[in-house]
Amino acid sequence: MKKITYSSHTGDGAIALIHQRVYEMGFVWHERKTDAGIDGEIELRNPVTGEVANRVLFVQSKGRGGRRFSGENDTTFHFLCDDADVAYWMSAPVPVLLVCSHPETGEAWWMHVQEWFADPAHRASGRIDFDKNTQRFDKSAAHRLLNLADPHGDAHAPVAEERPETLTSNLLRVSIPKVIYHAPIDTQDPRDVFARQRDLHPELLFAEDFILRNERIYTWRPPQQSALGKLITGPVKEMAASDWAGSDEVRQRWLVQLLNNALRADVAADCAWHNGRKIIFWRATPDLTARHIRSASGRTRQVFTPKHKKNDPTQVGYYLHAALEWQFLDIDGAWYCALVPTYHYTRDGYRDSLYLSEYLAGIKRLDRNPAVYHQTRMWAHYLHGDDDARDFRNTILTYGHLETFDADKGIDDKAWLSDPRKPADDEDALDDDTVALGEEEEELALFEVPR
């Protein structure tokens, strides 16, 4: 009687399992009818457009039916390879995968053999060690196989999948006052207005939410409520802020300048203005120790940090401040503040560091989307007034929340951030509830929506 051996049946089952897994990844499986150490090929395919990119991976299958692999337990096992097989795989012009599987249970794991046997010790032993948690051959491995076959991204780019996703922007909704106050004044130099308020009327509220145009001062608050009331030379009048918003480009710029000054005034209790860089940055603490605020995630975040010298930990080399650039935008009649977080460096908490440019260039090279995302949320949280850093009841502008957008397509972050040379380890949990400035955790990133 004709028979098909258990070994052959298991081998067919292993190939069928690989075929199924490759199908789930969105790629194409090509089985070889005759082989000398390669059972088939995986051809890469764009699962959304169906396009193929002429990139392939060779696959050698090793299946086990009712028995385990050598040394197999719940987390690991190993496989001993013949010298001839290893030599054959190492000479291949494309990456070769060894896929070990249990067809009866639908479990499979993979290893890139050329990378493994590039280690002389591994080559000498002929042994491949598998981690069953990080080397599963299933849909989750698709992006790693894609990067392995096309490491430079010449033939592929992350593709949007058909799945809903919420995108977080850096646009903070802002409500502006309806009225602008204006009055005549005998100067057109803002520095003169600042000096006269500070020197002649220090007992009155210091105002900086103003602009000077055509021998008049324009401000969000009635001048009589501050030291400006002592400087104006005529009656105060009112006008609608919407008159400038829908006016010519010159007056629209005036309105934006007023908004910029309003934000500076709103944070003046905590943040200093850097006229050269056109940024605000968190002020130093009186004793130059680190300053913390509560962020949107609930973690305590440092916004002012002394950085000690590496060669002398008892000495501070410089001070790092969380800082912010911004831009006011009128989008379809609604006002938004586009937040662009950055950093500032001082030598003593006040004066610019002599190496400011070098420090900025260095941290910008290290910053990734998660760092930008968390700094943006921190500033939005602070401006909205959710933090206990200051009393926001008297702010000029009313700050909302970061705008979010719902999309029906999304990109798998792990697919474009991952390194195919490393195992797909689970994310490390952070135990410390305090995040130092410049040392952000890897979480959700900011996204750009392609148009």
CA dihedral sign of residues 83, 85, 90, 91? positive
**Model pLDDT, residue 441:** 41
Q: Is the dihedral of CA 377, 382, 387, 393 positive or negative?
A: negative
- The identity of residue 103, as a single letter, is P
- The pLDDT score that the predictor gives to residue 420 is 44
Please count the structural domains in the chain. Answer: 2
Amino acid letter, residue 129: D
Q: What is the CATH number of the domain that holds 18?
A: 3.40.1350.10
* Per-residue confidence (pLDDT) for residue 55, from 0 to 100: 87
* Co-location of 277 and 381 in the same domain: yes
Which pLDDT score, from 0 to 100, does residue 413 have? 59
Q: List, in sequence order, every beta strand (DSSP E) within 226-274.
A: 237-240, 271-274
Write down the pLDDT at residue 435.
Answer: 62
3-state helix, strand, coil in the chain (%, to 5): 25, 30, 40
- Residue 381 placed within a domain: yes
Radius of gyration of the chain (CA): 31
Q: Which two tokens stand for residue 432?
A: 């410390």
Within 10 angstroms of residue 269's Cβ, the number of other Cβ atoms is 12
Three-class secondary structure of residue 34 per DSSP: coil
Residues 180-208 have pLDDT tens digits of 999 999 999 999 999 999 999 999 999 99
Give the integer Cα–Cα distance in Å for 37 and 15: 14
Is 163 part of any domain?
no
Residue 159 lies in a domain: no
- For residues 79 and 11, state if they share a domain: yes
Would you say residue 447 lies in a domain?
no
Strands of 264-389 (E only): list them: 271-274, 279-282, 291-294, 300-308, 316-331, 334-346
Is 241 inside any structural domain? yes
Q: Which of 99, 116, 149 is the last residue of a domain?
A: 149
Average pLDDT for consecutive 10-residue bins of the chain (451 residues)? Answer: 71 93 92 84 81 87 90 95 94 95 94 94 95 92 86 59 80 95 95 94 92 95 94 95 86 95 94 95 95 80 92 92 96 94 95 92 78 90 71 78 83 54 40 55 34 31
The reply to whether 414 and 296 lie within a common domain is yes
Asked if 123 and 261 sit in the same domain, the reply is: no
Q: Is residue 442 part of a domain?
A: no
pLDDT value at residue 438: 61
Same domain membership, residue 130 and residue 194: no
Would you say residue 108 lies in a domain?
yes
The per-residue pLDDT for 320 is 96
- What integer pLDDT is reported at residue 59 of this predicted model? 96
Q: Is 399 exposed, middle or buried (0-12, 13-18, 19+ CB in 10 A)?
A: buried
Instruction: Clarify whether residues 261 and 402 are in a common domain.
Output: yes
Q: Domain residues for 224? A: 170-435
The residue out of 86, 116, 149 marking a domain boundary is 149
| 429: its two tokens | 């949990």
